């Protein structure tokens, strides 16, 4: 990273530039408003006739010519407007508003005493002046440490630790703080003007109050522009000029901003908005301020000449037979008089000149904030391509370009580490090659002597590989044969079709054989259906499932019991006895989790008993969760209790679901988490409108989609029955 020259810290320059643009934006508007308000002031407090005539004479307007506006000299009219505006602008500095008149060859100043030192305007400008001085003082105090820091850096002097810590901590706050300091006077006088308008304090007339209201809104717009100007200029310099001279190389490789996740789009939208709306707003404001309502003329009738001035050539084709026209039809129309149109064009020109300065600067800062980091990144990419891996790019922004620069820095660090590691390995390898060459020369005869032994070991390894392959094939053949045995013991999937019209069995062992099993039998009008999950999976689980199936067959055949909880209690005794479980410490606690349903097809009643496996019944899009007892089939830490026997009346259309934990525990999804019981219940509710076979297909497809490339982690068994 090439060290760049240390820049100067801009403080007063930013403040002065912003203030100058602020006043250049406000003064043309204020002049326009002042000139527009002259007739209102004169109407409210007219001067004596002699002075009025003298004032008109001083403007160079012939009273006799006022009856025909077309005969007036346009240059005289423009000059009059400019002179009148200058007089009123000059009066703002003195606190009095009024024209200068010439009486009997002597220049006298006749002020319409609407704006005086004690009025709202005087207080407004006094507050603005004093508060601006205070803001400059506050800005000087706040920025003094930063200027000192960069001055010490340019001179090569040592920077005190406290000063460096302060600058490092507050650097990213300088745009907001400086913008707030310089905008605070405008905000305060905005609040003051709002208070003055609401309380109508010290206004000598409606004309003065209307002018003050317009100045109030003008202050709001100018304050927003002033704040944005300081904020974006200071932010531009912080990111492009200052950041690399305060933070270390290690810190600059990553994003050091307090707020992350910025977007280039936001900056471009801001620049586009300023480019589009600022000149447009200036034009619209001047245009609106220049409009005069026909209603304000208070005329009862319009002559044909006045009507032609108002609507132009249309006056020659509308109502030609009338000599006079009532103003009632034209009260909603607006027009721009000659003086206002001239002032409007001058004001728009001045406003657009100021807005062009704003726009050029905003566009310059936005472009540099985007292109400067990109150029640095491209330069460093070219250097990296040429083999220089020690370069890095400063992460100057918190947007997509910053993320790109941060990713590039991480990549170069890894490449640099890889290159260093490879270089070290090459050096070590060269040394080893030299050593091994000497050793090879010395060991040549020994190697030749060991050749026969190696060949013998190779033959032995080949024999062992063949033996292992053969044993693996034998084991797999045995397991596949065990699968056939297990499948013959399990009831055929079509078995339930003789008793139930609509059902499905979703059975997916994780390995060749399964630790999950399903069991079904009939006893008179009763159908017994069970879904069981044995401890483990594969061959160990399959052995336990064989024990469970054979035990349940023996229980039903021997005892003839058909009550669900009694069957589970007898099955528990069988398992404990068969596995020789005594409950001693350290003994394996293998067992079975099972859900058992006994459906009485004649009484339409379902009995359910469960060991750690629940039962779901969906009736009319409502899911009933029948919870199982919290104990397994087998020995466990507590004293065995009787299983609960749940009796549920069945209705036509009920859907019954029994399942092992394989489906809900399957890993997958974006975060590789378990599917969870809540999602499984919602899925079952969502597919109720489908037949059981279609539900099975949906469950299979959902399992594939959820698992993705994750392997199946457990045996999966789901049984669904439609009553």
Whole-angstrom distance, CA of residue 280 vs CA of residue 291: 17
User: Of all helices (H) and strands (E), which one includes residue 673?
Assistant: strand 673-674
Q: What is the DSSP string of 179-246?
A: HHHHHHHHHHHHHHHHHHHHHTTT--SHHHHHHHHHHHHHHHHHHHHHHHHHHHHHHHHIIIIIGGGT
Is 219:190 a contact under the CB 8 Å cutoff? yes
Residue 618, strand partner residues: 623, 655
Token pair in block for residue 187: 């905000």
The percent of the chain in helix, strand and coil, each rounded to the nearest 5, is 60, 15, 25
HSE-CB of 144 using CA atoms within 13 angstroms: 6
The predicted pLDDT at position 691 comes to 93
pLDDT for position 106: 42
Q: What is the pTM of this model?
A: 0.47
Q: Give start and end residues of each alpha helix (H) in 45-173.
A: 49-59, 74-94, 120-155, 161-170
The contacts of residue 623 (CB under 8 Å, 6+ apart) are: 616, 617, 681, 684, 685
Q: Give the C-alpha separation, 399 to 261, whole Å.
A: 6
For tokens 């300088």, name the residue: 174
Which long-range CB contacts under 8 A does 265-270 form with residues at least 24 apart? 267/366, 267/369, 267/370, 267/399, 268/366, 270/362, 270/366
Task: Give dist(CA 529, CA 292) in Å, integer.
Answer: 91
Query: How many whole angstroms from its chain centre is CA 492?
Result: 55
Task: Using CB atoms within 10 Å of the CB of residue 234, give its burial: 0 to 12 exposed, 13 to 18 middle, 19+ buried.
Answer: buried
Is the CB of residue 189 less than 8 Å from the CB of residue 128? yes
CA end-to-end span of the chain: 76
Distance CA 490, CA 478 (A): 18
Domains and CATH numbers, the chain: 490-722 (3.60.40.10)
Cα–Cα distance, 99 to 93 (Å, whole number): 14
Q: According to the model, what pLDDT value does residue 413 have? A: 78
Question: Degrees (nearest 5) of the Cα angle 523, 526, 532?
Answer: 90
d(CA 162, CA 164): 5
Q: In what order do the strands lie in the sheet with 655-659?
A: 502-508, 716-722, 655-659, 615-619, 622-626
User: CA-to-CA distance for 245 and 250, rounded, in angstroms?
Assistant: 13
How far apart (Å, rounded) are the C-alpha atoms in residues 110 and 301? 35
Cα angle: 272, vertex 379, 240; to 5 degrees? 45
Chunked into runs of 10 residues, the chain (723 residues) has average pLDDT values of 73 83 72 63 52 43 40 44 46 44 41 51 80 90 89 87 88 88 87 80 65 74 82 84 82 74 70 68 71 70 70 63 61 69 72 75 76 78 66 75 75 77 82 79 76 82 84 79 77 75 90 89 90 86 87 87 90 88 74 94 93 94 94 86 94 94 92 92 94 94 92 93 90
- The pLDDT assigned to 530 comes to 95
Query: For residue 315, which of 291, 68, 306 has the smallest C-alpha distance?
Result: 306
Phi, psi of 261 (to 5 degrees): 85, 25
Cβ–Cβ < 8 Å for 557, 620: no
Q: CA-CA-CA-CA torsion for 586, 590, 594, 598, nearest 10 degrees? A: -100
Reading phi first (left if > 0) and then psi (alpha if -120 to 50, else beta), residue 10 is in: beta
C-alpha 190/C-alpha 194 separation (Å) is 6
> How far, in Å, CA of 693 to CA of 297, rounded?
86
Give the whole-angstrom CA distance, residue 620 versus residue 652: 10
Contact 352, 279 (CB under 8 A): yes
DSSP for 608-619, please give it.
EEEEB--EEEEE
**476: alpha, beta or left? (left if phi > 0; alpha if psi -120 to 50):** alpha
| Cα–Cα dist 581/584, whole Å | 8
Q: Which residues share a beta bridge with 598?
A: 528, 607
Number of helices (H), then strands (E), in the chain:
16, 18
Residue with tokens 């039998």: 521
Tokens for 2, please give them: 């090439």
């Amino acid at each position: 990273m090439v060290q760049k020259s240390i820049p100067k810290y801009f403080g007063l320059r930013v403040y002065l530039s912003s203030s100058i643009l602020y006043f250049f934006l406000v003064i043309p508007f204020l002049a326009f408003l002042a000139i527009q308000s002259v007739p209102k002031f004169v109407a409210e407090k007219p001067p004596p006739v002699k002075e009025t005539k003298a004032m008109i004479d001083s403007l160079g307007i012939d009273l006799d010519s006022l009856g025909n506006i077309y005969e007036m000299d346009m240059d005289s009219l423009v000059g009059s407007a400019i002179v009148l505006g200058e007089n009123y602008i000059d009066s703002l500095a003195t606190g009095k508003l009024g024209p200068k008149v010439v009486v009997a060859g002597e220049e006298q100043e006749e002020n319409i005493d609407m704006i005086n030192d004690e009025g709202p305007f005087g207080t407004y400008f006094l507050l603005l002046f004093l508060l601006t001085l205070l803001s400059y003082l506050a800005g000087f105090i706040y920025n003094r440490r930063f200027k000192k820091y960069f001055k010490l850096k340019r001179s090569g002097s040592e920077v005190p630790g406290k000063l460096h810590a302060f600058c490092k901590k507050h650097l990213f706050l300088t745009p907001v703080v400086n913008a707030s300091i310089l905008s605070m006077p405008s905000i305060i006088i905005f609040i003051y003007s709002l208070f003055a308008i609401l309380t109508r304090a010290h206004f000598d007339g409606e004309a003065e109050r209307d002018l003050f209201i317009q100045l109030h809104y003008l202050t709001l717009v100018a304050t927003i522009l002033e704040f944005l100007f300081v904020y974006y200029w200071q932010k531009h310099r912080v990111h492009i000029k200052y950041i690399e001279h305060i933070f270390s190389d290690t810190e600059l490789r990553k994003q050091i901003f307090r707020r992350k996740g910025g977007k280039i789009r936001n900056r471009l939208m801001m620049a586009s908005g300023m480019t589009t709306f600022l000149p447009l707003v200036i034009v619209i404001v001047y245009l609106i301020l220049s409009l005069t309502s026909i209603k304000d003329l208070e005329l009862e009738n319009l002559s044909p000449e006045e009507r032609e001035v108002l609507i132009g050539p249309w006056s020659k084709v509308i109502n030609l037979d009338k000599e006079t026209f009532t103003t009632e039809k034209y009260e909603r129309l607006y027009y721009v008089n000659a003086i206002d149109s001239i002032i409007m064009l001058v004001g728009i020109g001045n406003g657009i000149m100021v807005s062009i300065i704003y726009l050029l600067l905003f566009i310059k800062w936005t472009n540099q904030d985007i292109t400067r980091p990109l150029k640095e990144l491209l330069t460093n990419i070219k250097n990296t391509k040429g083999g220089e891996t020690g370069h890095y790019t400063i992460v100057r922004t918190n947007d997509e370009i910053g993320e790109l620069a941060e990713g590039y820095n991480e990549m170069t660090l890894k490449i640099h580490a890889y290159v260093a590691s490879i270089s070290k390995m090459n050096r070590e390898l060269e040394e080893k090659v030299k050593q091994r060459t000497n050793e090879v020369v010395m060991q040549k005869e020994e190697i030749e002597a060991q050749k026969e032994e190696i060949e013998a070991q190779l033959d032995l390894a080949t024999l062992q590989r063949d033996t292992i392959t053969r044993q693996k094939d034998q084991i797999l053949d045995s397991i596949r044969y065990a699968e056939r045995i297990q499948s013959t013991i399990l009831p055929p999937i079509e078995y339930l079709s003789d008793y139930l019209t609509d059902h499905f069995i979703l059975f997916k062992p994780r390995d060749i054989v399964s630790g999950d099993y399903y069991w079904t039998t009939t006893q008179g009008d009763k159908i017994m259906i069970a879904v069981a999950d044995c401890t483990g999976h594969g061959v160990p689980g399959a052995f336990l499932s064989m024990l469970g199936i054979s035990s349940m067959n023996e229980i039903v055949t021997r005892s003839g019991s058909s009550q669900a909880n009694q069957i589970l209690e007898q099955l528990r005794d069988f398992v404990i006895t068969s596995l020789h479980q005594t409950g001693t410490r350290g003994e394996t606690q293998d067992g079975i989790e099972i859900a058992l349903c006994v459906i009485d097809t004649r009484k339409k009643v379902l009995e359910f008993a469960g060991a750690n496996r629940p039962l779901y019944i969906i009736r009319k899009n409502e899911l009933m969760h029948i919870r199982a007892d919290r104990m397994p089939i087998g020995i466990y830490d507590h004293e065995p209790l009787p299983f609960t026997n749940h009796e549920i009346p069945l209705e036509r259309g009920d859907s019954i679901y029994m399942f092992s934990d394989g489906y809900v525990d399957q890993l997958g999804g974006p975060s590789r988490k378990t599917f969870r019981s809540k999602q499984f219940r919602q899925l079952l509710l969502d597919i109720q409108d489908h037949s059981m076979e279609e539900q099975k297909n949906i469950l299979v497809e959902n399992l594939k989609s959820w698992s993705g490339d994750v392997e199946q982690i457990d045996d999966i068994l789901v049984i669904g029955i439609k009553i």
